[in-house]
Amino acid sequence: MWEQIRSNQIRTAALTIGMGALLVLLGYFLGLYFFGSPAAGLIIAILLWVILSLVGYFQGDSVLLRMHGAKKIRPDDHPRLYNTVEEMKIASGLEAMPDVYIIDDPSLNAFATGRDPKRASVAITSGLLQKLNRDELQGVMAHEIAHIKNRDVLLMAMCSILLGTIVLLAWYGSRVMIFGSMTGSRRSSSGGGGGNIIIVVVALVFMILAPIMAQLIYFAISRKREYLADASAALYTRYPQGLASALEKLGASSGQLKAANQATAPMYIVNPFRKRGMRASDLSSTHPPLSERIRILRTMSGGSFNDYDQAYRQVHRGGKGVMPAGSIAAGAVPLAAARPEATSAEPDAMQRARETSDVMWRMSDYKTIPCDCGAKLRVPPGFREPRVRCPHCGKTHQV
Amino acid sequence: MVAPVIVGIVVVILIIFLVGNYNALVRLRNQVKNAWAQIDVQLKRRYDLIPNLVETAKGYMKHERETLEAVTKARNIAQQATSAGAGERAKVEGELSSALSRLLVVVERYPDLKANQNFLALQEELTSTENKISFSRQFYNDSVLRYNNKTHMFPSNVVASMFKFKEGEFFEVTLAAEREAPKVSFT
C-alpha cells in the first residue's frame, strides 16, 4: 500500500513535465516574436524559472509562514496539538518531527510546508484549533502529515512557481506586445512577411492559453494529491470519521484566510476561497468538493487505500477509481472503533476556545494572572507597574 | 566470441539483482528495527508517567486502592519484561493498557480529580502516550508485514534465504480486554 506514493509520482511527473513544456513553448514563441530567435526567449524563461525556484526551494516555507504571521509552538504551549502532530508523525513513520505553528486567524484552515520530510512544518489557524475535538484534530494533522510524507509539499510549491513563471511571462509578454505593436517599433528585424504573421498569431494565442492550461494542470495535480492525502490520513488514523467530521466543520464556515492567494491555494486543507455548495465537477478548483471528500471518508469500511478506492467508486457510482491499480493490492486494514472514553475526558468547545486564546496571548508575550474571582488578567509585555488591580473584584495582584 | 559476452551480461544482471534485493531487504529490516525502537520509547514514557498519575490520583480516590495498585503492579511487571520478545511484551503491555483504561473509567466518578489541572495535564500526556503506543505498534506491524512479504516473495526470497534474513515478529494485541473499547456502565 505504500508503493502507492511511487506509482502516483509517475502520473504527477507527466503532468509536471507538461507544465514545463508549456513554459518552454512560451519562451520559444516569445523569443521568436521579440528577438527573432527562440534561444533568447528560452533563456529568459528558464532563467526566471530557475531564480524563482531557488528562492522557493530555500525560502518558500519561511515566506509562507511569515506571510500568515504564524507562530511556532513548543510542546507545552499547546500539548494536545503538539501531541496529535507527534502521534501522526509516528503513525506515518516520518523521519523527523515537523515544526508546529499556530496562525492567529478566526477562519478555519491548516496547511503543511517545507522542502523535504526532514524539515517540514504544519500550521493551523487558531479558529480551527478551537473548533476541533481530539479525533478531528488528529484527522486534520494526519492529512497534513500525509502531504509531507507523500512529498506533495515541495511538489506543489514547485508547481506553483512554474505556474507563476508562466503567468508572469505571459502577462508581461502580452503587455509589451500590445503596446509595442501600437508604436510599431519591433518586428522589423525578422524577415519574411507571411511567416511573421503566423508567429504573431501563434505567440498571441499561446500567451492567452498557456496560463489557463498551466492552471488546469496545476489543479489536476492538486486534486489528485488531496484524495491521496485523505486516503493516507484514513490509513494513519484508522479512523476516517475523524477527518470527515473535521471537514464538515470546515465546510460549515465560509470565512476566508487573510493571507491566502490563488497560487498558494492548493497548500491548504480546504480551498481558502471556497464558497458553499460548490459544483461537483468543478474543473477550475484546487480541491475536490468537500461534500464529496466527506462522503468518501464516511463510506469507507476499512483503513487501506483499497477501501478508499472502493468508497470513491461507490460515491461516483462506478467508473475509474482514484488510486492507481498497483498500489491497492494489500491486506485488510481494520478501522479503529469509536473511542467513547476519549470524548468524555476531553475539553468541550468553550474550554478549547479559552485554551486557544490563552496560548495566543502567551505567545504575544502577555502575562496571564488568574484572579480568585474567576477573571483572567492579561498583562501586556510593556507593563511597568509592580502591581495590577483586578477590574472585576478589585483585588490587587503582583505582576 | 559471443558466448563470453553473454556470460558476462548474465553475471552482471545477477549481481545487480543480488545487490538490489539485498539492499532492499536490509532497508526494510532496519525500518522494522527503528519502528521497534519507537515503540520502546513510548512504552518507557508510559512507565515514567504512571507513578506521577497514581500519586496525583491517590489523594482523591480513597476507595479505589485496588484499581491503583493493579496499575502500579502491571507497570512493574511490564518494566521487568523489557528484554523479552515481541510476543511476550505485547502480552504484559496489553495487561498494563487495560489496567490503565479501567483507571481512566473510574476517574469519571471523581469530579474533584477531573478539575485538578495537574491531573488533566497528566491525563492528556497519558492519552497521547497510549495513542503513540498504538500508532507506533501499527507502523511496526506494517513494517514487519512489508519486510516479511519481501522475504517470502519470489525472487527476493532467494536472496533472503541466501543471506539468512529472519522473519519479523508481529506485535499482536493478545488480550481481549484491549481489543475492545472499555465499556462504561451507568448504574
> Could you read off the pLDDT of B138-177 as tens digits, one per residue?
888 888 888 888 888 877 777 777 777 787 777 776 544 4
Q: Which residues of A touch B114 (CB under 8 A)?
A: 345
Q: Once rounded to an integer, what is the mean pLDDT over residues A184-196?
A: 49
User: Residue ranges per domain, chain B?
Assistant: 2-179
Nearest Cα to B167, choosing from B24, B39, B29, B37? B29
**ipTM of this complex > 0.90?**
no
Specify which of A6-10, A46-50, A97-101 reaches the highest per-range mean pLDDT. Answer: A97-101
- Does this model's pTM top 0.90? no
Are the C-beta atoms of A319 and A313 separated by less than 8 Å?
yes
Measured distance CA(B182)–CA(A40) in Å, rounded? 71
Q: Is B177 on the interface with A (CB under 8 A)?
A: no
A317: DSSP letter: T
**Active site amino acids of A:** 144
Q: Is the pLDDT of residue A299 over 60?
A: yes
Does B136 contact A79 at a Cβ distance shorter than 8 Å?
no
Query: Which helix (H) or strand (E) covers residue B105, if one does?
Result: helix B86-107
**Cross-strand bridge partners of residue A121:** A99, A113
Name the H helices within chain A. Answer: 4-34, 38-67, 79-92, 126-131, 134-149, 152-183, 193-237, 240-252, 290-299, 305-315, 340-344, 349-363
Of B107, B135, B145, the CB nearest to A91: B135
Q: Is A239 on the interface with B (CB under 8 A)?
A: no
Closest chain B CA to residue A75? B125
Q: Which residues of A touch B138 (CB under 8 A)?
A: 91, 238
Using a CB cutoff of 8 Å and minimum separation of 24, what contacts does A255-261 make?
A255/A106, A255/A107, A255/A108, A255/A127, A256/A107, A257/A68, A257/A105, A257/A107, A257/A109, A257/A125, A258/A68, A258/A105, A258/A107, A259/A67, A259/A68, A259/A69, A260/A109
Q: Is A135 on the interface with B (CB under 8 A)?
A: no
Of A90, A341, A342, the CB nearest to B135: A90
Residues 6 or more apart whose CB falls under 8 angstroms from that of A341 comprise B101, B104, B105, B181, B182, B184
CB count in 10 Å sphere of residue A55: 12
Confidence band, pLDDT 50/70/90 cuts, at residue A344:
very low
CB count in 10 Å sphere of residue B81: 15
Cis status, amide bond into A386, omega within 30 of 0: no
Q: Is the pLDDT of residue B46 over 60?
A: yes
Sign of torsion, CA B56 B60 B62 B66? negative
Looking at 1.20.1440.20, 2.60.90.10, 3.10.129.10, 3.30.230.70, the CATH number of the domain B2-179 comes to: 1.20.1440.20
Confidence band, pLDDT 50/70/90 cuts, at residue A290:
confident
Q: Which residues of A touch B41 (CB under 8 A)?
A: none
Nearest Cα to B83, choosing from B45, B44, B48, B138? B44
**Cross-strand bridge partners of residue A122:** A100, A112
Sign of torsion, CA A175 A181 A185 A187? positive
Q: Is A236 on the interface with B (CB under 8 A)?
A: yes
For chain B, the residue count is 187
Nearest Cα to A110, choosing from A87, A126, A89? A126
Min mean pLDDT across A9-13, A20-24, A30-34 is at A9-13
Burial class (CB in 10 A: 0-12, 13-18, 19+), B175: middle
Measured distance CA(A297)–CA(A259) in Å, rounded? 29
Q: Once rounded to an integer, what is the mean pLDDT over residues A284-307?
A: 78
Q: Is the pLDDT of residue A211 over 70?
A: yes
B18: DSSP letter: H
Question: How many residue pairs bridge chain A and chain B with CB atoms within 8 Å of each other?
Answer: 63
